[in-house]
A and B are shown apart, each in its own frame.
Chain A
Amino acid sequence: MNNLRYAKDAALLGIAFVVIVIQSSVIARIAWPLHGPNLILLLFIPWVLSETPFRAAFIGFLMGGFIDLAPPGNGPVGQWALVMTLIGFALANYAERSRDLVQSPLVEVGIFTLGALALLLTWGIIGLMVGDDRASAKYFFQFIPSSLLWNVVLAPFVLPVVRKTTFVRRVRR
C-alpha cells in the first residue's frame, strides 16, 4: 500500500513539474488580455486542500523549489519554496478543520480564490522584503488581480478534475 502511495505521489509531482514547464513555455508566452491564467495555482491549491498539512508543506516546498530552480527562474532561490510551503501548510490545515469544503462548488472556488490571493500576496511581500524588482506596484495592482480573474474563471472547470485526481488520500485519511 505504501509503495502505491509513493508511486502516486511521484506521479503527481511529475505532473506538477510538467505543469510548471508548460506554464513557463506555453501559457506565459501567449499574449493574454491582461495577464494569463496560472496553471500552477490551479493545480497546487486544490491539491494541497486534499492533503494533510505535513504532506502539503512538502509538496509546496518541492514545487516551489522546482519553480525557483527551473529555467527561466531568476529570482532568489527559495522564494517560491518558502511561499508555497507556507500556503500549502496553511490551506491544508484549514481544509482539515473544515470538512465541508467540497460540499459546494461555490465554496470551493471561494477558498481557491482566497488561497491564490494569499499565495500571490505572500510572494510579493517576500519579494519586497528581499528586494526583488519583480515585486513592483505593477505586480500587486495589475498582475495579481488579472491573474486571479483568469484563475477564478477557469477554477470551476479545473478544480473538480484536480480534486478527483488527488481524492484517494482524502478518503483514506
Chain B
Amino acid sequence: MEPARSSESELVGERLACRRGERLVFAELDCRLAAGGALVLTGSNGSGKSSLLRLLATLLIPDSGELLWGGVPVAQDAAHYRAQLHYVGHLDATKPALTPRETLGFWATMRGTATPAIDAALADFGLGAVADWPCRWLSAGQRRRLALARLVAAPAPVWLLDEPTAALDRDGEACLAAAIAEHRAAGGRVAIATHQKLTLADADIIVLDDFAAPPEAAVAALW
C-alpha cells in the first residue's frame, strides 16, 4: 500500500482496539516503533498498558485494527514475528528449583538460540555471585533482574517490557537503563509500560487514557 508501510523491520500498530471480557479497554490506538526507537506507555491503572504490550506480543488478539512488522501483517507469519521479540511481563518465569544460569540457558534454548550470552547477561544485571543458587533463595528484585537478563542472553530486536523496574533497586534500574541504551544503539526497539519516571532519550510517549473507549461505546458494542 502506501510506502510508509513497507519500511523494513518497523513495528506498526494501526487503529488497535483491545477488549478484555466485555469491556473495551482502548480503541483507535496507533503506534509506531522504528529501529532504535523507544515507546513509553503510561496511563492510570486499568488503562490498558499491559494489554497493549500483550497485544504487541501477540499474546492477545486485537479486537480490531492490525499489527504490522516490516509492512507485513503479523498474523500472516506469527512465528517469524515472535522470533523477533522479547516479552518480559509482570511475572518473572523463574522456577524455585532452577539456578539463574539454568533458567537463562533454558529460555535461550526455547528461543532457538544456539550460543546464548549467559555469562554476559548475568554480569550485566549483577547476578554473577548468585548464578548457581537455586532461584528460591533469590529476592524479588534479583528474580526481576533474572527475568530482564533474558533480554541480553538471547538477542532479539524488539523488547516489550511490562513495569520492568518493579522491585528493582537503583542499581538494578541503572543496569536496565544501560542494557536498553546498548540495545537501542544497536538498532533495537523497546516498548515499556510504566508509571514511573523513566529517563529514555527521545522516546515516544503514549498515554493510554487518551484512547479509552467512551463508556456508551462499550455498552453499545455489548448489546
Note whether A and B form a binding pair. no
User: Which residues in A have some Cβ–Cβ distance to B below 8 Å?
Assistant: none
